[in-house]
Amino acid sequence: EKREVQVACREAMLTCKSPLRDEGREGNITIGLHELALVVVPEVRSRLMQLRMNQIMREFVRHDSDRDCCLSQAELVQVGLHFGLDHHVIGEMTASLGEDLQASGVSFETTLDIVCRSRERLQRKSRERERELKMSLNICEGSFREFRTDILVLYNIFHRWDMHGNDMVANGKLSHEEMMLMLRETGLLPKSLKDIIEVEAMLSAISESGQRECTFGDFLDLARKIRLYKQQHSRQKHLRLFERYDKDHSQELSVSELALLLSDLDIAPRNRAEQQELADMIHAADEDGSGTIDFREFQDLTQRIDERLKQLRYETEIEVALGMGFTEQQLRDFRYVFDSLDDDDSDRLNEQEVKNALGLLQKSISQTAFDAAFPQLDADNSGELEFLEFLELMRLLRDSEGLFSDEPQMLERKVVLLDTRIMRRALELFHISKNYLVSLSREDIVDLFCSYFDISKEADLHAKLGVKTIADLYEVARRREEALKEKEAVEAAEPHHAS
């Protein structure tokens, strides 16, 4: 799509009546807003529709239950969900057409138009949100361009830590400790003690004089320094591998060659979500749409993939831990102890190391209880546990032996007090696109959450939904999603033609 858009732009611009040559860049031409709106945008939109037509056609046929070449409103929503489009977005786009689709049904041409334009709207919303952040936080243009691909994710994490505490009031600054915790969550914090000390020194140098507090702009400066530090220390290793796979000495790698190289760097996805994220990032790194990646793009890509996979794994860990009733602080304690004993960086602990971990956590259990619990989690009989298995062991020991016997983390009673991350995860269970949710402000997330759970912002969550813990909330979300599917299946089975 990227290559096709570039071709479409150039061809469309050449058809403009009076394109201007850009003297500053050889081969470039410039056009006015009028030509952009009336010539270039329609041509790009047409090309993208052509590229996406077959994929959307497959979903159209799959959901056309009565084979009349038209979809009901409910079937259209299911097609939209396949492409990560929330039913609110589909509804808004449908309404903008000004047609009574419920009575006449939705043709393929209309479905194609709605899906493509809805995707445009989501992209615009993300871009607008990025620009709003740039203006409100006074981020310079250079930093904005450098961090634009992940600025929303980074800011959402920063804002959540800024809201951390009993007063739930943000002041736009994080303490030294909060910055270090955020670096871990964003995947920027190195693992070795030597490198962590180096990062601590960078942070101390960036912090405001004497106050040891940092703004979001300070965080971006620190992230840039950490990335540069990591790239400098890995440059020779990366260059040797790059040259080994660059068989034709073109100083570029194809996507297939890159995939093999990444496996040599032990950058490997563990599940489908990570596979998809990896694929998206590889294609995004190909800035010019050439289908190949040079060494500069490669080194930047490996850094960002490493960060993103760590982010995804932290998100999984926090979701699992909260679902088990552990607090985020307990999760951090578990992870710290686990990493301290994982000498070979395998992300696994053997039986003796797990016992040592319990000792570091100052928890003691009988050998009989340990011997009964450990094999339940060691499914492959390797004698080792990965971190999520270690978490499950902690849960088993808590439930059977009374370890970590604090009350499970209770859900806030009001929606407005809920952690944004918890609301996002609950909404993801309705198959709403993660990218769409990331682009929303906290206020938008609250409104969407209230809409899906049919609850007001000030209502008592415990009483209204019958939930007390985060796990309870996720279970309610799953049940509501199943109920929505059943309702839409019934509606889809009903005739949607007036005749």
- Residues 434-466 pLDDT 10s: 878 888 888 889 999 999 999 999 899 999 999
Question: Quick one: pLDDT at residue 132?
Answer: 93
Question: Quick one: pLDDT at residue 128?
Answer: 92
Question: Quick one: pLDDT at residue 450?
Answer: 94
Question: Quick one: pLDDT at residue 152?
Answer: 92
Question: Quick one: pLDDT at residue 222?
Answer: 94
All residue ranges of the chain with pLDDT < 50 are: 166, 496-499
Q: Whole-angstrom Cα distance, residue 103 to residue 99?
A: 9
pLDDT tens, residue by residue, 194-233: 999 999 999 988 865 555 689 999 999 999 999 999 999 9
